[in-house]
Amino acid sequence: MKYDVIVIGGGPAGLAAALAAKENGAQEILILEREKELGGILNQCIHNGFGLHTFKEELTGPEYAARFIDRVKEENIPYLLSTTVIDLARQENGVTVTAVSRENGLMTLEGSAAVLAMGCRERPRGALNIPGTRPAGIFSAGTAQRLVNLEGYLPGREVVILGSGDIGLIMARRMTLEGAKVKCVAEIMPYSGGLKRNIVQCLNDYGIPLKLSHTVVDIRGKERVEGVTIAQVDEHNKPIPGTEEDYSCDTLLLSVGLIPENELSRGIGVELSPVTNGPKVNESLGTNIPGVFACGNVLHVHDLVDYVSEEAAEAGKNAARYAAGSGTQEGVEIPVETGGAVRYTVPSRICPDRMEEELVVRFRVGKNMRNAWVCVYAGEKELLRRKRPVMAPGEMEQVKLKKEDLKDALSLRVCTEE
């Protein structure tokens, strides 16, 4: 049997993609999930604040996931749990997915289209080359979150957090609520990489200091962490001698960045962006491999799950159309260039013939900005100019492009102007 659409990953992206594929006519859909439940990382995000855009209410992570899981079940979309995809390969009309599980052994599955929705992983200590000893008590923030929220165990009592990404901020509050003392959150950049609301609700409300332009320069302790040294950094992120401060603690949490998990994508030859570490996609969220689409955090790291769901629905819809052979595959793609503080765009190329009447282009900026302009140009022609009171690296931005505006465009440029 050949599936229309195989969705790799049963987190928020995979669920929304599968639902959209179904709505758009795909008959045979299969979701492959490596954990023992659907929902992905949302299952351990028991704080609220999810779904404000989508459902106009504040849900917890598991509640948000449940809305999608319920619909997947209502729609009778099949899924396999505790199933890990070990290989993804091209074949003449689609893809071959090799997966293993305890129940089904080694499976070879064929699909007309595949949606990549594997999510991302946390950068480990080694990626920063933080010097010191290697004792127990060093966790990535997400691992600590799982231990506290899913396993019900406290990883430590006196905590220093490096990195002010959202998970780091959320865990500062979570550990505090569990009775741990969070001594500080150090952030190497001069700004936080997390959402403003998380800085207020997770740090300020609990009196946890946020030390910007600071990093961990030493870890002490033989069996268990006994302390860390934090130092201020200069404009090149180099520690400034003489600014070292010792903190005694038994735990160091790291929230120092997320990396899209694209080992499978790389295996099948998907071209990746060095900026996002995710696939380069077109307006349909299609990769360079025909029939392979990508969405969610495997494509680029999102700030809000609402946007993941929205984006994934597009990928699912386009995968269904591809599987059905409907919609044109013809047309010329124009690259989307970036300028000013815009670091990247998703999609990074657009085919005006294939695009819908309106297309959302998402991007992030590389620095904090006030009252800057977001502009879109087609060649010399300005298509859009919008003033944004505040933009920050931690928050995703978007612009909407109209099909009619791109009809004769040869190049496109999304940029900020100050």
The residues binding another protein (CB under 8 A) are: 34, 82, 84, 86, 98, 100-106, 108, 121-122, 124-127, 129, 131-136, 139-140, 142-143, 146-148, 150-157, 178-179, 217-218, 222-224, 239, 250, 261, 263
CB of 103 to another protein, least distance (A): 7
Nearer of residues 24 and 262 to another protein, judged by Cβ: 262
Side chain identity at 335, as an amino acid letter?
P
Q: Contact 316/20 with Cβ under 8 angstroms?
A: yes
DSSP secondary structure code for residue 239 in this structure: B
CB of 216 to another protein, least distance (A): 11
Nearer of residues 294 and 351 to another protein, judged by Cβ: 294
Which position has the token pair 């940029």? 415
CB of 274 to another protein, least distance (A): 10
CB of 259 to another protein, least distance (A): 8
Residue 297 backbone dihedrals phi, psi, to 5 degrees: -70, -10
How many other CB atoms are there within 10 angstroms of residue 399's CB atom? 18
Q: Contact 110/99 with Cβ under 8 angstroms?
A: no
CB of 213 to another protein, least distance (A): 17
Nearer of residues 267 and 339 to another protein, judged by Cβ: 267
Nearer of residues 128 and 324 to another protein, judged by Cβ: 128
- Non-local (6+) Cβ contacts of 146 within 8 A are 44
**Token pair for 344:** 């990247």
CB of 218 to another protein, least distance (A): 8
3-state secondary structure of 325: coil
CB of 172 to another protein, least distance (A): 16
Nearer of residues 135 and 327 to another protein, judged by Cβ: 135
CB of 182 to another protein, least distance (A): 15
Q: CA quadruple 284, 289, 293, 299: dihedral positive or negative?
A: negative
CA distance 241 to 286: 48
CB of 290 to another protein, least distance (A): 24
Q: CA–CA distance from 24 to each of 107, 139, 307, 317 (Å)?
A: 27, 42, 20, 6
Q: How far apart are the first and last CA of the chain?
A: 56
Nearer of residues 136 and 396 to another protein, judged by Cβ: 136
DSSP secondary structure code for residue 340 in this structure: T
Q: CA–CA distance from 388 to each of 174, 194, 221, 368, 376 (Å)?
A: 32, 18, 47, 11, 14
CA distance 403 to 43: 38
Q: CA quadruple 188, 189, 191, 193: dihedral positive or negative?
A: negative
Nearer of residues 85 and 184 to another protein, judged by Cβ: 85
Which position has the token pair 């004769």? 408
Nearer of residues 47 and 413 to another protein, judged by Cβ: 47
**Token pair for 251:** 């735990």
Nearer of residues 273 and 416 to another protein, judged by Cβ: 273
Which position has the token pair 């957090």? 161
